[in-house]
Amino acid sequence: GMRAEIGRTLRIALVIIAPVAVAVACLGSEVGGAIAVGAASGDADIIGSTVAAFSLAMLAFCVHFVMLRGFYADEDTRTPFLLQVVIASVNVVAAVVLTQAVSPARVSTALALSYGIAYVVGTALSVTLLSRRIGRVLDAETVRFAVRLTVACVLSAAAMLGAVELAGPLGIDGDGAGPALLVAGLGGAAGAVVYLGATRLMRVQELQYLFDTVVRRRS
């Protein structure tokens, strides 16, 4: 029962987080241009790349966070503590290595990427350890869901990148906070439409379940 609940929770979480992470990766530059105002306007590219680099951490942290609920439900706080020690250690090592390999201007991007790498390692460990305890967490249903979700996210990413490319011919160059925000909005809207359409065509029931839950609570 715990395994089934964790799997369902993971799928519902990923159906929200995955497209957001993809949008962050695809539209990081535009988001950076939109929020880099005043004295920070010259650092728009750096801010954008740092925002985009956090997309990996968003996905990995989401999965890891759900796995931790399994350990806590089993009244085990020792394993999560040890996992966090490993994650922190990997984060430190990755940060030192990556920041030494980039220019000072790119340190923030390297730190964001090292954070994601650390949680990828932590996620692999937490999934493995929890599966040994309660059985395979990433069961066949979750794997099939992951395949459908990946397809939807790839199509959404293509739509977002396509919208960004079309912004230039439409006279929106993306320079400045206003135009960058507009391009990000157009790209995000295109990605959202394609994602919702793709998940509906592929019958990703978790998204429909989420919508139904929100509607019931509002009513």
Q: What is the pLDDT of residues 116-125, one digit of tens each?
A: 999 999 999 9
Closest CA to 122 of 65, 180, 44: 65
Is the pLDDT assigned to residue 156 strictly greater than 60? yes
Burial group, residue 131, by CB count within 10 angstroms (0-12, 13-18, 19+): middle
3-state helix, strand, coil split of the chain in percent (to 5) is: 90, 0, 10
| Amino acid code (one letter) for 114 | S
CB 204 within 8 A of CB 152: yes
Q: What is the pLDDT of residues 74-114, one digit of tens each?
A: 999 999 999 999 999 999 999 999 999 999 989 999 999 99
Give the Cα separation of 183 and 172 in Å (integer).
7
* pTM, full prediction: 0.85
- b/e string for 164-175 if b means 16 or more Cβ within 10 A? beebeeeebebe
Is the pLDDT assigned to residue 18 strictly greater than 80? yes
pLDDT of residue 167: 78
pLDDT of residue 42: 59
pLDDT of residue 128: 96
State mean pLDDT over 155-172: 85
Give the Cα separation of 4 and 1 in Å (integer).
5
State mean pLDDT over 9-33: 90
Judged by phi (left if over 0) then psi (alpha if -120 to 50, else beta), residue 37 lies in beta
Higher pLDDT pick, 209 / 57: 57
- Backbone φ and ψ of 104, nearest 5°: -55, -30
CB 8 within 8 A of CB 142: no
